[in-house]
Amino acid sequence: MSHWVSDSSQLDDLAHAIDAAPVALDTEFIRERTYYPKLALVQMRSARGEEALVDPVALSEAGALRAVLEGPVLKLMHSPSEDLQALLRGWGVIATPLFDTQLAAALTGLGAGKSYQALVEQLLGVHLEKGETRSDWLQRPLTASQQHYAAEDVRHLHALHERLDHRLAELGRSDWLRQDCDRMVQTAREDGRDPQPHLSSRSAQRMDREAQMRLRRLLLWRDQVARSRDLPRGWVVDNELVVLLASRPLSRSRFDTLLDQHPRAPRRSRDALWEALSRPPSEDEHDIPLAVAPDPALRAPLKAMQAVVAHHAADLDIPEGVLCAKRHLEYLLANRTWPEALDGWRADILKQELMARLP
């Protein structure tokens, strides 16, 4: 039975009750109308079976839990990338070290992207309901159904950890998981800032250098405004308008006309948007990497590299996408530089063969 924690004295008691054994951890958050996830609930379960639902609406700081969340106690979580962001934004803490049961399942041959419910049923034979997935977790009080659902999200993590950790050790892959979890934590620390957001836009592949410089600048401006106002990026400027404005040089009158014609244009921010669009490029901007359409001449080496990945993935009994995503192969071919995302255990397996296939 889980207990509700909503004041600092209860938080202190909870922190002191957690020993050095792994602790199960999960969060509920809302992100529909904001840039940052709003932390709405923190669920915890000790190795002894004590469960707590911590109310971050009432507790704006982690308090005594900070030492637990950032200390050496292993945190058991399932697909925690967004939970890490929610904890960082809500409480200013990074939960580390991690054991991600979803990733551990992929590395032990159970398939990629397994949901918590599917993994619990597969490994433990327990069927979990999904009824509260879309709940309003910021409402107070939470219903009994919401509290039950939230507690279930940590109730089985210790049992999953026991089975998956044993299997990882048998396969000699415990360090693989540690490396990937450490990378996940580092990504959360960096807060998702992308200095080259235009590279993720397919529209950029059809643009010349000057247009890509404008697109990058508008995307960076949009991200800065979205963060400062805590709004979804698309609520600041939608992708369609960003591409339209960046595609060709515009006069101020043409710019104003496009904004007036677009139904969701940020008209109140038109001066700031015009300044971001029209200012002369800096020296650094001339050196940005460019988004390029796939080169037909690289199709054959790409297929050869994919075959290498497929061979090793089959041999290891792990999903190809977990071993190496296609986009990383495309990056390698385009830049002839080993992607940082493939450093560590993946490089030990793939680097020599893939580098040898560079044309």
- pLDDT computed for residue 119 by the predictor: 98
Q: Please state whether the peptide bond connecting residue 141 to the residue before it is cis, i.e. omega within 30 degrees of 0.
A: yes
User: Could you give the angle at which helices 239-246 and 252-261 cross, rounded to 10 degrees?
Assistant: 160
Query: How many other CB atoms are found less than 10 A from the CB of residue 39?
Result: 25
CA distance linking residue 222 with residue 273, whole number of Å: 9
- pLDDT computed for residue 132 by the predictor: 65
Closest CA to 25 of 122, 102, 95: 95
- Same-domain status, 26 and 65: yes
Residue 162, amino acid = E
- Same-domain status, 312 and 233: no
- 309 and 319 in contact (C-beta within 8 Å)? no
Query: How many structural domains comprise the chain?
Result: 3
Closest CA to 209 of 154, 102, 281: 281
Structure tokens at 296: 């037909």
- Same-domain status, 270 and 300: no
Alpha-helix runs per DSSP H in the chain: 8-17, 65-70, 81-91, 101-107, 116-124, 144-155, 157-171, 174-189, 209-229, 233-236, 239-246, 252-261, 270-278, 299-316, 320-323, 326-335, 345-356
CA distance linking residue 146 with residue 134, whole number of Å: 10
- Same-domain status, 111 and 179: yes
- pLDDT computed for residue 225 by the predictor: 96
- 65 and 14 in contact (C-beta within 8 Å)? yes
Interior CA angle at 287 toward 282 and 292, to 5°? Answer: 125
Whole-number average pLDDT of the chain:
94
- pLDDT computed for residue 18 by the predictor: 86
- pLDDT computed for residue 76 by the predictor: 98
* pLDDT tens readout for residues 14-23: 998 887 789 9
**Residue 312 domain boundaries:** 296-356
* pLDDT tens readout for residues 209-259: 999 999 999 999 999 999 999 999 999 999 999 999 999 999 999 999 999
Q: Per-residue confidence at 300, pLDDT binned at 50, 70, 90? A: very high
Of 138, 163, 189, which closes a domain? 189
* pLDDT tens readout for residues 91-105: 999 999 999 999 999
Of 287, 317, 341, which closes a domain? 287
- pLDDT computed for residue 260 by the predictor: 93
- Same-domain status, 132 and 280: no
Of the listed ranges 57-61, 83-87, 292-296, 322-326, the least confidently predicted one is 292-296
- Same-domain status, 173 and 231: no
- pLDDT computed for residue 237 by the predictor: 95
* pLDDT tens readout for residues 72-86: 999 999 999 999 999
Q: Per-residue confidence at 348, pLDDT binned at 50, 70, 90? A: very high
* pLDDT tens readout for residues 166-208: 999 999 999 999 999 999 999 999 877 889 999 999 999 999 9
CA distance linking residue 39 with residue 150, whole number of Å: 13
Of 189, 220, 240, which closes a domain? 189
Q: Residue 32: pLDDT above 90?
A: no
